[in-house]
């Protein structure tokens, strides 16, 4: 592309997200921030209330959207909200005929996915008048054939049909993202409905995109393997661009202790005694919080309350209802030895990273592993699972264990807790070779991807 060509960045996901961002939301927001400083004519757009057309945001709206306060304002819009007429229904209905004809199982997937999407549409509440999602009436975006349309958010929530319509109508170049293939490759740690929808979504992705951005080499390899086993003979070029993380010294909200009194009281309690171990991740089945709960229960049986705390930071996701109920009824929880924090600001999270003993990330499968990388950027040891994407994201510098190795996790946690010298030595070795990749290099790599002919 030339400097005269435009980039249209779809920020619909961020527009509807009003809570501390999870990884995918963070990627979209950080790319949006970077493109504001790049020498590219970038326009920011969102799906309108009909779910059929994209409309451009004003400069003031973009300023508000990318401000830190956007993701911490009360009265959030949940990510499952959608336009009044969810475009996902149309996307599934118009699944490309050539896929259905060529793939024996595609018809079954189509019917199952359609039932799921239509059921989800019935559960959706219509767009409200909360002043966040609704936009004044305005002209829809109309890119030219020389322009680029980029979307790296929760596109399966809104459907790819509006993007495909732009491509057919304007011949604009489409760049879409793939964060992982977990719902298809690991259906046991995802809901059946998600598995069915993503079977369709990834085939749709191959049709709509001209280029695909993957968050890691692992994710790229998994997506290519998915396409091969699905019987596709060709698909768009896939570029693996490793994600970034925020530089510890550049916390936007300041480096001091947070002003929230309740958080400061919790932090003071965590810092006392044996300190605490940190796990930053959405709390869902595949993230494997259960193995840590089991380790802490075992340590409590042996040492009583004289053990470090365990802090989970993240929103509650799929498949952990039983675990959370068990946890709430357990003595280690009622005694405050395991703490679950949601809606943690960037400022508060920075304090937790700086003051924890070490971090853990025992996830069964990943597309990247932002929480592990963030911990390392603060100079903290992170014990990870042997999931390939986690090993890749942490540059092979972290001690890795099989996610189900209870004795291994118990042993490492105990050794790092009881032996500060061992922990400090591990931190020193890591810091000697760990290369922090911030969001700016990620943005530059994405810009290079955009500029490729």
Query: For the chain, which residues score pLDDT lower than 70?
Result: 1-4, 73-134, 249-260
- pTM of this structure: 0.84
Q: In the prediction, which pLDDT does 446 show?
A: 97
Q: Provide the CATH topology of domain 248-435.
A: Rossmann fold (3.40.50)
Predicted confidence at residue 218, as pLDDT, reads: 98
What are the Cα distances from residue 144, in Å, to 45, 148, 168, 366, 404? 15, 8, 11, 37, 51
- Determine the longest span between alpha carbons in the chain, in angstroms: 67
Instruction: For helices 321-329 and 289-303, give the axis angle rounded to 10 degrees.
Output: 20
For position 139, what pLDDT does the model report? 83
Quote the tokens at residue 316: 């509650």
pLDDT at 134: 64
Distance between CA atoms of residues 344 and 336, nearest Å:
18
Confirm or reject CATH 3.30.160 for domain 6-244+440-451, answering yes or no. Answer: no
Q: What tens digit of pLDDT does each residue of 359-394 get?
A: 999 999 999 999 999 999 999 999 999 999 999 999
Domain 6-244+440-451 matches domain 248-435 at the CATH topology level: yes
pLDDT of residue 124: 35
**pLDDT tens digits for 277-287?**
999 999 999 99
Q: Are the CB atoms for 23 and 368 separated by under 8 Å?
A: yes
* Domain range list for the chain: 6-244+440-451, 248-435
SS3 of the chain: the string is: CCCCCEEEEECHHHHCCCCCCCHHHHHHHHHHHHHHHCCCEEEEEEECCCCCCEEECCHHHHHHHHCHHHHCCCCCCCCCCCCCCCHHHHHHHCCCHHHHHHCCCHHHHHHHHHHHHHHHHHHCCCCCCCCCCCCCCCCECCCCCCCEEEECCCHHHHCCHHHHHHHHHHCCEEEEEECCCHHHHCHHHCCHHHHHHHHHHHHHHHHHCCEEEECCHHHHHHHHHHHHHCCCCCCCEEEECCCCECCHHHCCCCCCCCCCHHHHHHHHHHHCCCCEEEEECCECHHHCHHHHHHHHHHHHHHHCCCCCEEEEECCECCCCHHHHHHHHHCHHHHCCCEEEECCCCHHHHHHHHHHCCEEEECCCCCCCCHHHHHHHHCCCCEEEECCHHHHHHCCCCCCEECCCCHHHHHHHHHHHHHCHHHHHHHHHHHHHHCCCCEHHHHHHHHHHHHHCC
């Amino acid at each position: 592309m030339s400097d005269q060509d435009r980039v249209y960045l779809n920020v619909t996901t961020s527009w509807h997200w009003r809570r501390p961002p999870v990884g995918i939301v963070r990627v979209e927001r950080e790319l949006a921030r970077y493109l504001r400083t790049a020498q590219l004519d970038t326009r920011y757009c969102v799906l309108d209330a009909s779910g059929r057309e994209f409309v451009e945001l004003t400069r003031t709206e973009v300023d508000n959207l990318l401000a830190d306060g956007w993701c911490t304002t009360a009265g959030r819009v949940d990510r499952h909200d959608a336009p009044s007429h969810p475009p996902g229904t149309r996307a599934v209905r118009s699944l490309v005929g050539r896929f259905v004809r060529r793939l024996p199982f595609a018809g079954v997937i189509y019917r199952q996915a359609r039932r799921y999407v239509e059921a989800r549409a019935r559960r959706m509440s219509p767009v409200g008048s909360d002043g966040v999602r609704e936009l004044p009436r305005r002209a829809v975006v109309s890119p030219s054939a020389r322009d680029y349309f980029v979307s790296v958010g929760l596109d399966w929530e809104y459907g790819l049909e509006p993007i495909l319509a732009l491509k057919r109508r304007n011949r604009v170049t489409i760049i879409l993202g793939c964060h992982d293939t977990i719902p298809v490759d690991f259906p046991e740690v995802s809901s059946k409905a998600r598995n069915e929808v993503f079977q369709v979504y990834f085939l749709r992705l191959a049709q709509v995109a001209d280029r695909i951005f993957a968050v890691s080499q692992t994710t790229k390899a998994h997506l290519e393997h998915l396409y091969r086993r699905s019987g596709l003979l060709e698909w768009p070029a896939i570029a693996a661009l490793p994600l970034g993380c925020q530089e510890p010294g550049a916390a936007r909200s300041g480096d001091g202790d947070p002003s929230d009194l309740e958080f400061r009281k919790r932090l003071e309690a965590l810092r006392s005694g044996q300190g605490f171990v940190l796990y930053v991740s959405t709390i869902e089945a595949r993230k494997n919080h259960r193995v840590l709960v089991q380790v802490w229960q075992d340590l409590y049986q042996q040492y009583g309350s004289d053990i470090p705390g365990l802090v989970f930071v993240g929103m509650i996701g799929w498949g952990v209802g039983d675990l959370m109920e068990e946890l709430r009824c357990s003595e280690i929880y009622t005694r405050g030895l395991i703490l679950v924090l949601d809606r943690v600001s960037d400022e508060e999270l920075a304090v937790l990273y700086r003051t924890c003993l070490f971090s853990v990330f025992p996830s069964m499968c990943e597309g990247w592993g932002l929480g592990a990388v963030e911990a390392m950027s603060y100079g903290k040891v992170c014990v990870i699972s042997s999931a390939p994407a986690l090993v890749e994201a942490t540059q092979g510098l972290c001690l890795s264990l099989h996610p189900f190795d209870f004795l291994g996790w118990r042993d490492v946690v105990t050794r790092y807790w009881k032996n500060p010298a061992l922990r400090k030595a591990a931190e020193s070795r890591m810091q000697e070779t760990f290369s922090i990749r911030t969001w700016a290099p990620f943005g530059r790599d994405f810009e290079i991807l955009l500029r490729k002919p």
